[in-house]
Amino acid sequence: MLSEKDPLAVHQASDINGWLKKMPEIEIMAEIEPVFLIGEGHQTSGKEFWQKINNLIQSRYDDFMGFIVINRVSDILFNALAATFAFNHLNKPVIFTGSQLPIVDKSLIDIKRKSFGGLGIKANLINAVQIATMDFPVVGLMFGNAFLRATKAVRSAIYSLNIFTSADNKYLAKIDFGISPQTKLNRPEKNPEFVNDFEDKVLYVKYQPGLTFEDYKETAGKVKGLVIESLPVEPFNAEFKNELDRIKIPVVVYNKYYVPDLAIDNVIAVRQMTKETALVKFMWALGQTDDIKKIRVIMNQDYAGEFIKDS
């Protein structure tokens, strides 16, 4: 999370204490138990990693008021979405945060870190710790001055204090002189239902006018599910539609605004959702069943406020 120049980047478990000692402010807010998951420079995405994070939270669920996952920003949204669906009816906060400035372009980071007054991690972490002690039974992202649902998050900037915005402009909390809740959430009394299976053999295709299905036919035969990001209203041409009718795997036809029901047995129209949410939710549904009827029910059910009602 810290720059390569900083000797306290977390590469192994023994680095954590030194890293936290750099931020003694955190200790006055809550009792924190740090857990090492993976070191800087390693892969922090994919099905196995999602399951690892979720299992770790599940194994300690009853022992803590809330959980914070510090993660590289490029993967954070997908990781948070996987936690969202794995913990159905969550009754504690699970907050994903990190530094707004990942190590990609060092010269640009040096400029930005001056205007940010640092890498942003400390402020994000302080806000996340405070949120973890509050009544937010949800998986959310904490960056800059906003806390929002992972299911509503859209990456809106590369280097900025607020790198995620909410797809429906609704936030869980805003940060000003404290954490100001913006949305009232009901806390379920029981612990969440934990379903941590995902299918990662999924092909994602963005349809453009003139695209034929021929290019994807071979790959589509090897995967368990297909997501096609379509055009709104008239999602694709008749030929493309006929091809979809012939393949036997579950297909999600997705558009953020509108997709008509296509009356094809293996095709599920998904709309009013962010594309990242649609993809991870579909992977989660496929992890539970290959029955298209059940997948359709899952995709149409609201699990974590994922439907964007005002778009």
Q: Which listed residue (7, 24, 209, 210) binds another protein by CB under 8 A?
A: 24
Is the CB of 141 or the CB of 179 nearer to another protein? Answer: 179
Kindly state whether residue 112 participates in binding another protein, applying the rule CB under 8 A: no
Handedness of CA 289, 294, 296, 299 (dihedral sign): negative
Using CB under 8 A, which of the segments 21-29, 39-47, 209-217, 281-289 binds another protein? 21-29
Task: State which of positions 165-204 bind another protein (CB under 8 A).
Answer: 175-179
Which residues is 114 bridged to in the sheet? none
CB of 25 to another protein, least distance (A): 4
Is the CB of 179 or the CB of 273 nearer to another protein? Answer: 179
Q: Which listed residue (1, 82, 126, 148) binds another protein by CB under 8 A?
A: 126
Is the CB of 23 or the CB of 35 nearer to another protein? Answer: 23
Is the CB of 117 or the CB of 210 nearer to another protein? Answer: 117
Q: Which listed residue (6, 12, 17, 27) binds another protein by CB under 8 A?
A: 27
Using CB under 8 A, which of the segments 25-33, 71-79, 97-105, 293-301 binds another protein? 25-33
Is the CB of 6 or the CB of 239 nearer to another protein? Answer: 6
* Number of chain residues interacting with another protein (CB under 8 A): 20
Task: State which of positions 89-108 bind another protein (CB under 8 A).
Answer: none
Using CB under 8 A, which of the segments 7-15, 36-44, 57-65, 126-134 binds another protein? 126-134
Q: Which listed residue (123, 244, 252, 259) binds another protein by CB under 8 A?
A: 123
CB of 135 to another protein, least distance (A): 12
Task: State which of positions 139-168 bind another protein (CB under 8 A).
Answer: 145
CB of 173 to another protein, least distance (A): 12
Of 167, 129, 116, 154, give the one whose Cα is nearest residue 23.
Answer: 129
**Secondary structure, 3-state, the chain:** CCCCCCCCCCCCHHHHHHHHHCCHHHHHCCCCCCCCCCCCCCCCCCHHHHHHHHHHHHHCHHHCCCEEEECCHHHHHHHHHHHHHHEECCCCCEEEECCCCCCCCHHHHHHHHHHHCCCCHHHHHHHHHHHHCCCCCCEEEEECCEEEEHHHEEECCCCCCCCEEECCCCCCEEECCCEEECCCCCCCCCCCEECCCCCCCEEEEECCCCCCHHHHHHHHCCCCEEEEECCCCCCCCHHHHHHHHHCCCCEEEEECCCCCCCCCCCEEEEECCCHHHHHHHHHHHHHHCCCHHHHHHHHHCCCCCCCCCCC
Q: Which amino acid is at 155?
A: R
Where do contacts with another protein occur on this chain (CB under 8 A)? 23-29, 117, 122-123, 126, 129-130, 133, 145, 175-179
